[in-house]
Structure 1
Amino acid sequence: MSVAGQSSSVTRGCDCLAHRFGNAADNGSRQPRYPTDVTDAEWAVLRPLLPVPGWMRGRGGRPEAYCHRAILDAIRYLVDNGIKWRAMPADFPPWDRVYAFFRRWRDHGLVTEFHDRLRGRLREREGRDTEPTAGVIDSQSVKADAVVGSDSRGFDGGKLINGRKRHLVVDTLGLLLGVMVTAADIGDRTAAKVLLGQVADAHHQLELVWADGGYTGSLVEHCLATLALVLSIVKRSDNQKGFVVLPKRWIVERTNAWLMRTRRLARDYECRTTSAEAMVYWSMTMVMTRRLARTRPQLA
């Protein structure tokens, strides 16, 4: 019997594709016990938005042997608690199977596809168009773990941080439109030139992006001439002292705060920058599914 606000059992009757068409029923079930487990309300939202596995689309591969809901529970647990892959609790599927799922979704862009579907659904729920017309860009430097090699880490002299830098573009709700992870010594304008190009290609209705003073210079002209994108610089007044909330820029700062609440993102532990970017997407999927589950209309 499920309790409101808590997840129900992942059972042999689960309606995930691995149970319905794969071999997941052969591996039994697990009883949910962690705050990060997908609730029934969340599952009702995200289940129709999950990408269809390649083995169901004639692309070969063995039908999956572990429940998709249990796999999602495992990845959410890892991202939120910051554990090592090999430290995955025993009640989840084997850690190497969970990592194989994570790697497949990372390499084939499935985590981005899933994330974007959730973002579109949440924007519709908030009364917005699916595609945004305005966004905000910023970067955040974080310390890197010892496993991060020298080829993808650097020293941010402004923040005095040895590690990596996350470059984010978000919409006016703070939802992620694009992320790029670089060494911390890469300049904001250098990374933004690439990231804004990717975001503009993916979101054709985007017309305006707000940024701080670190993005001034030739980038403004480049965005207008090449991307047909207005880069508006929100500057801090020279007369202002102490902490001041600046218009529009606070939106992306709030998104950075959301990400830092997941322990896997409090420091960069990923050997590859693509894995670091995937972790950001997984963290945002948790934010969005929880919000969608709370605002889901009640059925009569």
Structure 2
Amino acid sequence: MVYPSSSVTNAQWALLEPLLRTPGNTTGGGGRPEKHCRRLVLDAIFYLVRGGIAWRQLPAEFPPATTVYAIFVRWVRAGVWQHIHDVLRDQVRVRGDRHPLPSAAIIDSQSVRGADTVPRSSRGFDAGKKINGRKRHIAVDTNGLLLAVVVTMASIQDRDGANRLLSVLRAHCSTISLVWADGGYAGRLIDWSKKVLALTVQVVKRADDIKGFKVLPRRWVVERTFAWISKHRRCVRDYETRPDHHEAMIYIAMIATMSRRRARTA
């Protein structure tokens, strides 16, 4: 059965299949042949992320839920999701006449409520937003494409979470030299980033005389990325027992978004 909002199209599959790891039994690594079609497994994961359902609620036409979950976890540990995402992001940038390696980024954070499946050891309370759960810190390029994501307790301050986020950003994108952020990142983070990571953090402040909603330069880009991610119901709330699984869900949401965009323009 085809689900229009989540099923992988032929054009998408042509983009995604070469990015998946080659099965071990075909490379002399041993093991049994894969029992289920990879495209069907990917369909199941996209369906779950878009619909926000539990693993055991996957429709019967997909492979068994325990099998799909095991493959999801295996690919998380092997870094498959981030690899697919990063290759697609570079392709989208090139198609937009941009260099694949960005030179600037925008950072922000978003607290999301944690379900009862989120253990107490990895969740916290965001007093400002009145949210009990986790906080996702993301860095995006000037087009809103994801560069790095870090998931922490919601009780972690933005500046403290940004230390880890910017370290991950520097490790994956050595060409970044300028980072825009909101007023919550002002203070010691600016000096630390300059001295330790050679990153210039520029704070985009909101004018005191502005009332109501106002689109702020640069900052609206990362807010739009949060909107893209939140179209996938599995990311609206945190259901994952591990923070790295929630990070993978964000990568999958962006993979689905970018692969559909690339498939339409291919």
Output aligned runs, 1:76-155, within 5 Å: 76-155=46-125
Output aligned runs, 1:39-78, within 5 Å: 39-78=9-48
- Secondary structure, aligned partner of 1:36: coil
Q: CA deviation at 1:34?
A: 4.5
Q: CA RMSD in A?
A: 1.3
| 1:63-91 deviation per Cα after TM superposition (whole angstroms, max 9, x unaligned) | 31111111110000000001110111000
Q: CA deviation at 1:100?
A: 1.0
1:216 aligns with 2:196: no
Output aligned runs, 1:182-197, within 5 Å: 182-197=152-167
Q: For residues 214 and 153 of structure 2, what CA distance do their matches in structure 1 show?
A: 28
Output aligned runs, 1:220-259, within 5 Å: 220-259=190-229
Please, what TM-score do these two structures have when normalized by structure 1?
A: 0.86
Contact 1:212 1:235 survives alignment (8 Å): yes
Q: CA deviation at 1:60?
A: 4.2
Query: Which of 1 and 2 has higher RCO (CA within 8 Å, sep 6+)?
Result: 2
Name stretches of at least 5 consecutive residues in structure 2 with no aligned partner.
Answer: none
2:6 corresponds, among 22, 36, 40, to 36
Larger radius of gyration: 1
Q: CA deviation at 1:200?
A: 0.5
| 1:249-291 deviation per Cα after TM superposition (whole angstroms, max 9, x unaligned) | 0000000011111110111011111111110000000010011
Please, what TM-score do these two structures have when normalized by structure 2?
A: 0.96
The 1:223–1:54 alpha-carbon spacing in structure 2 relative to 1, beyond 3 Å, is: farther
Output aligned runs, 1:250-289, within 5 Å: 250-289=220-259
Structure 2 counterpart of 1:203: 173
Contact 2:107 2:140 survives alignment (8 Å): yes
Q: CA deviation at 1:58?
A: 4.4
Amino acid at match of 1:254: R
Q: CA deviation at 1:98?
A: 0.7
Structure 2 counterpart of 1:21: none
Q: CA deviation at 1:41?
A: 1.6
Contact 1:209 1:229 survives alignment (8 Å): yes
The 1:56–1:120 alpha-carbon spacing in structure 2 relative to 1, beyond 3 Å, is: farther
1:160 corresponds, among 130, 155, 166, to 130
Q: For residues 147 and 60 of structure 1, what CA distance do their matches in structure 2 show?
A: 35
Please say which of residues 76-85 and 56-65 is displaced more in the overlay: 56-65
Q: Which runs of 4+ in 1 moved over 3 A?
A: 53-61
Contact 1:51 1:114 survives alignment (8 Å): no
- Secondary structure, aligned partner of 2:17: helix
The 1:33–1:254 alpha-carbon spacing in structure 2 relative to 1, beyond 3 Å, is: closer
The percentage of counterpart residues that share the same residue type is: 52
| 1:99-136 deviation per Cα after TM superposition (whole angstroms, max 9, x unaligned) | 11100111111111111111111111111111111110
| 1:207-239 deviation per Cα after TM superposition (whole angstroms, max 9, x unaligned) | 111000111111101111111111110000111
Q: For residues 99 and 56 of structure 2, what CA distance do their matches in structure 1 show?
A: 42
| 1:133-188 deviation per Cα after TM superposition (whole angstroms, max 9, x unaligned) | 11100000111101111111111111111111110011111111111111110011
Contact 1:134 1:172 survives alignment (8 Å): yes
